[in-house]
Structure 1
Amino acid sequence: MEEELFQSAVNMKVFIKASGPAHIIVLPKPKVLNVMIPIYRSVQKRSAVKTRPSGYYYQSAWRALDGTTVHQFNSTAISQCLKGITIHIYGDSTVRQWYEYLTNSLPDLKEFDLQSSRKTGPLMALDYLNKILVTFHSHGPPIRFGSMPVSQLHHIANELDRVAGGTSTVVVIGIWSHFSTFPIEVYIRRLLNIRKAVVRLLTRAPGTLVVIRTANPKEMTLYESLTNSDWFSLQRDKVLRAIFKGANVRLVDAWEMTLAHHLPHKLHPEPDIIKNMIDVVLSYICPLSRILKDPTES
């Protein structure tokens, strides 16, 4: 009987229909009288909560509001952007999706069989001609991948201390889902250790690009609603942002990118959303000056 109270698309994860026209009209920014500006700023200072969306979708492409110009990359442009680049991906299955997207998108990026589990890794792929190396390593316990050799239970902080770093190195970190059913203190301690390792990495190799993936909303079942709902994910998302605030890292706001998309929420977002996340990462790696202007690019 309890399950009748928790039904996806019935009384959970239900879209709110527009009360009026289901479209928006973008108007020019209005001119504000100079006398109003100090009043507006004083109200802003008194405000206890300041929220601002990190971006929006326009014609299925993510437009960031943090000043980053997000470009659209096809397979040729991805290869050009990543030429000579090593990408180390650490975390859970939500960033393993990024590894899988790259290996599926680049025909010359060949995987090595390391005799490891597809879920836990380690995984490695190499494009020898373009000198592109992509690796994936699962984070240390707690994990819910199933069985995993003890020899592969490596913590991200320890792995980062082994990375030489430099301008040709990109580090991606995504760690949140497996901690949702544990006390928040466990997650805080883990992130603090990772942050210290990131600082050490950037101190010895300032040119290294470090990208952090946030949490995202997921589909809800009765079990998930009672034990591991989006409320727990949101708490960890806030903690992650607070701990890495001020660090020289770039953020991929998976929470907003999933929330703003018309596709249903999933722990592992659909390919269209993953594609936009990868476009954000590639735009961090390759500013406009490094992007290949391919005539076939849409």
Structure 2
Amino acid sequence: MGGTLSRYSPFFFFLMIAAVFLILHNIHFLERFNSEPVSCLRPPQPRINNSSVINTSANLTSRTYLHTLPPELQSQKSCPHVGQQPTPEEAQEQRTLLDSIAWPGPPRLEVPVNQSSDPAHSYFVIQPPVNASGQATTWRVGGKLEVLVHMHDFLSRPKSYGGDFLLARIRSVQLGAGASGRVVDRQNGTYEVELPLLWAGAAQVEITLVHSSEGVGVLRRLRKEQSDRVYFKSLFRSGGLSETTQCDMCLPTGPGKAPLCDYTDPQTGEPWYCYKPKRLGCNRRVNHFKSGYKKNLLYPNESLLFTSSTIQIPVKAQGMDHITILPAENGQSLVGQDQSKFVPSGYYHQGSWRTLSGVPIKHFNNPAAVKQCLKGKLFYLFGDSTVRQWFEYLTAFVPEFSLRSQKNVGPFLAVDSANNILLTFHSHGPPIRFNTLQSSEIEYVANRIDALRGGRDTIVALSLWSHFSTFPVEVYIRRLRHVRRAVARLLDRAPGTLVVVRTANPQITDPNYSLYNSDWYSLQLDTVLRAMFRDVRGVVLLDAWDMTLAHPTQPRLLHPAKEIISNMVDIILSHACPVKQKG
């Protein structure tokens, strides 16, 4: 008998392993069904001492690779409706937009982590100034500063390919001055940086590695394979009965899944679904809210690319990192006139934003000036919390505004009856990561714009970007297309309406949050937004990217500091109440 059991022991062992696997699989299935954060079958991330990883190459062996997610672990979804189909012209525009944000990557899929970009071993060099004839000269206002960045890996070897995400600026804390720079990828491990010289005096160069090219590859994969890494839910209620279900733009369907409640917008065709409650109807939906973030998105080796020592780290200078700028010479072309030079939208000097083209900026430094400009005007703000900041700034700055608002979420309403001023804020439709938004207040920006009368007494400000960072770019393009159509209709029926579109802005994030709101995601959305609204006549693009990056003293934040917001509001008011030209 003992021999017989011994003979079949491998078979029983196999059955035991299979049973354990089946139990784990069912647990995972139930977690998915209940919409709780799950690990997508990835192993838990070990606790890693970042300093030892970065500084000890022995921890980064040649056998440690960056992997893509196996096909069998990718999310399988089936959506009955994914939005209105684009026309042939719109489809061509989408292809052009996607081509414009194509990002170079490593020459092969599997790259040893010790061969990824290391900011500690990389450096930049300020190039000596030369004139058009190649002769040595000096740095002067109206010229440009050229910098060459050399990227190295953790073994201190030069990189041979590009794809790193770098940000550059030039600043002077003493003068309250700052400007953004342009980075050009040479595709060989080096990067050219061009910085405009816009003030006389001292200036310091700053280069930041936001993500290595290998880290960008991980972000690209997450956007493609894990677009549901932010969880949304809705509460359904009838009398004393209530249920909560998972919601999203696209939900898994099939055996074992509840039917879907379809909340697709009838005007724009924007899709949104929730799983139907077991005991309540779809018409009993009460609210919408963010319920959390999916965790354990990275493999242990990938996590080495997202630490406090590898993302958003300054690259040091080899040699000096500062220069002295002399005043412009007579006859030297002004910035903006020489098309061969990179020209940002503006720069800071003495803490104030100065535009390099368009309407001159007037600074509204007291509440009386703001009220005089907005007198008799309707000011509508639509979008996310970055445009809500303008509402919060104005209502705090002008005490006469009386508030009728729900904290944080809105809709916000402020009035100044004496001056006949109306100020409102409404959030954009889902996906929106606010804590709780009443279902009755969920409306898409395009529809709200279509409901406006417009005219010279109307200001419309828009900001849609941050909440789309985890979704495919095609989703963002589709949403902006609906908004652009509505803006065009508004300007057709009321040409005097002022429409301001706020761009995205960079922000300092921790390693984990960068998987959801990385500056790389924001940059791609920002590029798409600018391209889609660049040629819409009558639209003002407010460059929040440059204004946040260039500020000489304030940190880069998702919600920029008050000093930056006040300058943004000055831009809007300067367009609403332009300075009268003499003569």
Shorter-normalised TM range: 0.7 to 0.9
Quick check: 2:375–2:420 contact (8 Å CA) kept in 1? yes
Quick check: 1:125–1:134 contact (8 Å CA) kept in 2? yes
Please give the alpha-carbon distance, in whole angstroms, between the structure 2 residues aligned to 1:272 and 1:15. Answer: 24
Please give the alpha-carbon distance, in whole angstroms, between the structure 2 residues aligned to 1:17 and 1:275. Answer: 32
2:501 is paired with a residue whose SS is strand
Correspondence for 2:171: none
TM-score (norm 1): 0.85
- Picking from 123, 143, 155, the partner of 2:432 is 143
Please give the alpha-carbon distance, in whole angstroms, between the structure 2 residues aligned to 1:65 and 1:203. Answer: 29
1:129 is paired with a residue whose SS is helix
Correspondence for 1:79: 371
Quick check: 2:466–2:517 contact (8 Å CA) kept in 1? no
1:13 aligns with 2:304: no
Please give the alpha-carbon distance, in whole angstroms, between the structure 2 residues aligned to 1:229 and 1:29. Answer: 44
Task: For 2:364, give the aligned amino acid.
Answer: F
- Picking from 258, 261, 269, the partner of 2:551 is 261
1:267 is paired with a residue whose SS is coil
- Picking from 111, 116, 121, the partner of 2:403 is 111
Task: Classify 1:149/1:13 alpha carbon distance in 2 versus 1 (closer, same or farther; 3 Å).
Answer: same
Shift of the alpha carbon at 1:29? 5.9
Please give the alpha-carbon distance, in whole angstroms, between the structure 1 residues aligned to 2:447 and 2:327. Answer: 48
Correspondence for 2:526: 237
Correspondence for 2:571: 280
Please give the alpha-carbon distance, in whole angstroms, between the structure 2 residues aligned to 1:196 and 1:186. Answer: 16
Please list the CA deviations of residues 107-133 of structure 1 after superposition, one character each: whole Å capped at 9, or x if unmatched: 1111124xx3x2221110000111111
Task: For 1:129, give the aligned amino acid.
Answer: A
Correspondence for 1:210: 499
Correspondence for 2:513: 224
Please give the alpha-carbon distance, in whole angstroms, between the structure 2 residues aligned to 1:199 and 1:105. Answer: 32
1:25 aligns with 2:326: yes
Equivalences for 1:51-62 in 2 at 5 Å? 51-62=342-353
Name the larger-Rg structure.
2
Quick check: 1:188–1:239 contact (8 Å CA) kept in 2? yes
Quick check: 2:311–2:511 contact (8 Å CA) kept in 1? no
Please give the alpha-carbon distance, in whole angstroms, between the structure 1 residues aligned to 2:402 and 2:426. Answer: 17
Please list the CA deviations of residues 58-114 of structure 1 after superposition, one character each: whole Å capped at 9, or x if unmatched: 00000011232111112111111111111000000000000000000001111124x
1:69 aligns with 2:360: yes
Please list the CA deviations of residues 151-185 of structure 1 after superposition, one character each: whole Å capped at 9, or x if unmatched: 11100000001100000000000010000011101
Task: For 1:255, give the aligned amino acid.
Answer: W
Task: For 1:28, give the aligned amino acid.
Answer: E
Please give the alpha-carbon distance, in whole angstroms, between the structure 1 residues aligned to 2:49 and 2:532. Answer: 37
1:162 aligns with 2:454: no
Shift of the alpha carbon at 1:148? 1.4
Please give the alpha-carbon distance, in whole angstroms, between the structure 1 residues aligned to 2:314 and 2:576. Answer: 35
Please give the alpha-carbon distance, in whole angstroms, between the structure 1 residues aligned to 2:321 and 2:504. Answer: 32
Correspondence for 1:295: none
Correspondence for 1:97: 389
Correspondence for 1:35: none
RMSD: 2.2
Shift of the alpha carbon at 1:245? 1.5
Correspondence for 2:480: 191
Aligned residue pairs, count: 272
Quick check: 2:359–2:578 contact (8 Å CA) kept in 1? no
Please give the alpha-carbon distance, in whole angstroms, between the structure 1 residues aligned to 2:519 and 2:346. Answer: 20
Quick check: 2:373–2:577 contact (8 Å CA) kept in 1? yes
Task: For 2:482, give the aligned amino acid.
Answer: N
1:177 aligns with 2:466: yes
Quick check: 2:345–2:355 contact (8 Å CA) kept in 1? yes
Correspondence for 1:37: none
Please give the alpha-carbon distance, in whole angstroms, between the structure 1 residues aligned to 2:346 and 2:480. Answer: 25
1:153 aligns with 2:452: no
Task: For 1:55, give the aligned amino acid.
Answer: G
Correspondence for 1:246: 535
Please give the alpha-carbon distance, in whole angstroms, between the structure 2 residues aligned to 1:194 and 1:139. Answer: 11
TM-score (norm 2): 0.44
- Picking from 401, 407, 417, the partner of 1:128 is 417
2:509 is paired with a residue whose SS is coil
Correspondence for 1:296: none
Quick check: 2:503–2:544 contact (8 Å CA) kept in 1? yes
Deviation larger for 59-68 or 163-172:
59-68
- Picking from 450, 464, 489, the partner of 1:200 is 489
Shift of the alpha carbon at 1:251? 1.1
- Greater RCO (Cα-Cα under 8 Å, separation 6 or more): 1
Please give the alpha-carbon distance, in whole angstroms, between the structure 2 residues aligned to 1:3 and 1:278. Answer: 44
Please give the alpha-carbon distance, in whole angstroms, between the structure 2 residues aligned to 1:110 and 1:155. Answer: 26
Task: For 1:269, give the aligned amino acid.
Answer: P
Please list the CA deviations of residues 18-43 of structure 1 after superposition, one character each: whole Å capped at 9, or x if unmatched: 725454333136469xxxxxxx98xx
Task: For 1:284, give the aligned amino acid.
Answer: H
Please give the alpha-carbon distance, in whole angstroms, between the structure 2 residues aligned to 1:22 and 1:78. Answer: 39
Percent of residue pairs bearing the same amino acid type: 50
Please list the CA deviations of residues 218-263 of structure 1 after superposition, one character each: whole Å capped at 9, or x if unmatched: 1111112233210000000000001111112001100000000121
